[in-house]
Copies of this chain bind each other. A is one copy, B any other.
Amino acid sequence: MTTAPRPATERVRPDVGLRERKKLRAMRHIQEVALDLFDEHGYAAVTIERVAAEAEVSPSSIYRYFGTKEQLVLYDEYDPMILDMIDKEPAEVDPMEAIRRSISYIAKEILPGDEELIRRRMRYAWNEPAVRSGLVRQVEEAEAMIREGLARRTGKDGGDLELKVVSAALVGGFVAVLEYWHQTDYRDSLDAVLERAFDVLSGGLKLE
């Protein structure tokens, strides 16, 4: 979500030095500690200060890394992945189909490995209002990017009503899928649920 800190002077590859690796390691560690504490005492009862103490960093650093308390739960790297994949689909592919494929691919190939962690984080996304609205915000940003992708593919303007409606409906549907998946205790594979949802959406929201 929050744009990465932009270095004043562009170095050659600011992404791979010791600094960057240290930062990523620290973030993973902090998130882990935070989730442990949240699991034990509840999200609301754990202060940032507490997390900072437990993770042995300063509260300032947590804010610099994550921006907000919700992001301690929500932070992950999937969104850019999906967008990247959509852009890599060949231009001839139908736009909706490109999205469908990309999301399915992630759901099938990447997520299963992290499923434990994902479930753990999802619980908060549906039980803590603050986390929930952070999730929605994140999804909205993804929506904007999907819309831009669709705009490029179709030649339409990004502010076009049709595009807005389509991408909003898509991400709305996606959130519904996550909610269903969560509430049915991850019974079916995410991919299977996604397929059913896509069918409903492209079938014109007909019920039955």
**Taking beta carbons and an 8 Å cutoff, which residues of A are in contact with B?**
95-96, 129, 133, 136-137, 140, 150, 154, 156, 159, 161-173, 175-177, 179-180, 183-184, 193, 196-197, 200-208
Contacts and interface: CB of A to CB of B under 8 A. Distances in A.
Majority DSSP secondary structure for residues of A touching B: helix
Contact of A201 (B150, B204, B207, B208): B204
Given A133-B136, A136-B133, A161 B193 contact: yes
Contact of A207 (B166, B177, B183, B193): B166
Contact of A169 (B154, B161, B173): B173
Given A96-B207, A169-B172, A205-B202, A161 B180 contact: yes
Given A169-B172, A180-B159, A202 B204 contact: yes
Contacts of A136: 133, 136, 140
A84 B165 CA distance: 25
Nearest to A203: B204
A145 B92 CA distance: 40
A46 to B, nearest CB: 22
B201 A161 contact: no
Contact of A161 (B163, B172, B196): B196
A152 to B, nearest CB: 12
A165 B133 contact: no
A177 B201 contact: no
A169 B207 contact: no
A83 B176 CA distance: 20
Nearest to A200: B165
A153 to B, nearest CB: 9
A195 to B, nearest CB: 11
Contact of A162 (B163, B175, B200): B200
